[in-house]
Amino acid sequence: MAEWWRGVPKLELHAHLNGSIRSSTLLELAKERSKKGDLVLSEVEGVILKDDRSLQECFKLFDLIHVLTTDHGTISRITKEVIEDFAAENVIYLELRTTPKKNEAVGMSKRSYVEAVLAGFKAVETVKAIHLPSDGNIQYPDEVTHKNSTSEGPRMQQIFVRLLLSIDRRESLDGAMETVQLALEMRNSGVVGIDLSGNPVVGEWQTFLPALTCARKQGLPITLHCGEVPNREEIQGMLEFRPERLGHVCCLEDLEWKTLKESDIPVEVCLTSNVRTECVTSIADHHFADLYRVKHPLILCTDDPGVFSTTISREYALAASCFDLTKTELFQLAKNAVNFIFADNKLKETLRLIMEEAECVFAGTK
Ligand code: 6MZ
């Protein structure tokens, strides 16, 4: 089933750059560091190769990943690889998110970090990565059409890529403000929104409200990680804030589910991640089923395909088998994701055309 879903064009709207890193790259980086005497390989190998991780173990792994991916060259490399990996899954639009980081030891500022990510966009080789500005008035170059072939033969596979800048819950308000400012300045380079993420038991989301409100006033769409752990006040506050999208929303209570459903805020669903981190007790109990039943806007996403050893095709196959959905129903879900992207309307139109063409192809394979 995952193989079948690989052939279908899909959108990915919730993937963290450092959580999407290939395990092989991570091991290679760890080996390089151990040769330099910076770390003991045997001590980190177990952390990298471990399959089942609790939520808190995930954040330990992220700390290790961040130690290994500190320099600009590595950030560009992993970005390039991550885009190529998503393209190999037939993702036609990728909204990648990452937390801009400072590292004075290697001369890295938040801006130079984001520039290194954008350099990774440009370095993509196996597919044509289209990372145009998010400004709605941009003229698309002639070659950026939905057509997959030309009179000269098949066109190279294309993936549209945009970037969200994440605020980490460990940051101060000043740090968050700097990220929002950077996102505003880099809007014409493909940054299309702001995300709030990080260890859900660390910090308080209200700390970041002024930064999020500033982003909102400037028209930057926002997505919030919400309800990975039970935290009534926070969940209710986030729902009241009404971001453009919400990630996860696992630990809600009856009244909060009601508010969510009335709000129509699209939810980025990460099935494997939620089960692995025990935010839900089992896939059968996942709130996807209930939200799907009431036709709440949903998008299937991977979260951290590297950390959770999954792919977006696998997430579709999982949803199909666990919730007994037909290919037609799930294709419709994939197609609806176009409505919830943070990029401009012109790109939405292009993506719709691609999905409609695919619908014709896949219509006979119910
Ligand atoms: C909350 C998460 C996350 O930004 O360095 N991140 N935050 N919940 C999750 N569910 C498991 N998965 C990833 O990518 C890694 C960072 O993304 C956030 C964390 O802040 C993590 O450090 P970047 O590219």
Instruction: Examine residue 39 and state whether it is found in any structural domain, yes or no.
Output: no
Distance 59 CA to ligand 1 centre (A): 8
Tell me if 225 CB under 6 Å of ligand 1.
yes
Report yes or no on 63 lying in a domain. no
Question: Quick check: CB of 303 below 6 Å from ligand 1?
Answer: yes
231 occurs within a structural domain: yes
**Considering its fold, how many domains does the chain have in total?**
1
- Matching residue, tokens 């993702």: 91
Distances (CA, A) of 154 to 6, 149, 151, 158, 222: 19, 4, 8, 11, 37
Cα–Cα separations (whole angstroms), residue 260 to 87, 196, 208, 244, 289: 32, 18, 21, 12, 15
**Spacing, Cα 321 to ligand 1 middle (Å):** 27
Minimum-distance ligand 1 atom for the alpha carbon of 168: 20
268 catalytically annotated:
no
Supply the range of the domain harboring residue 196: 2-21+69-362
- Asked whether residue 309 is assigned to any structural domain, the reply reads yes
266 occurs within a structural domain: yes
Q: For the whole model, what pTM was predicted?
A: 0.94
Catalytic hit among 228, 256, 268, 315:
228
Can you give the pLDDT of all 366 residues of the chain as single tens digits?
Answer: 889 999 999 999 999 999 999 999 999 999 999 999 888 998 888 888 877 788 888 998 999 999 999 999 999 999 999 999 999 999 999 999 999 999 999 999 999 999 999 999 999 988 888 875 544 444 444 434 445 555 555 557 899 999 999 999 999 999 999 999 999 999 999 999 999 999 999 999 999 999 999 999 999 999 999 999 999 999 999 999 999 999 999 999 999 999 999 999 999 999 999 999 999 999 999 999 999 999 999 999 999 999 999 999 999 999 999 999 999 999 999 999 999 999 999 999 999 999 999 988 876 654
The answer as to whether 49 is a domain residue is no
CATH number for the domain spanning 266: value is 3.20.20.140
Q: Please, how many CA atoms are within 13 Å of residue 298, restricted to the half-sphere of its CB?
A: 25
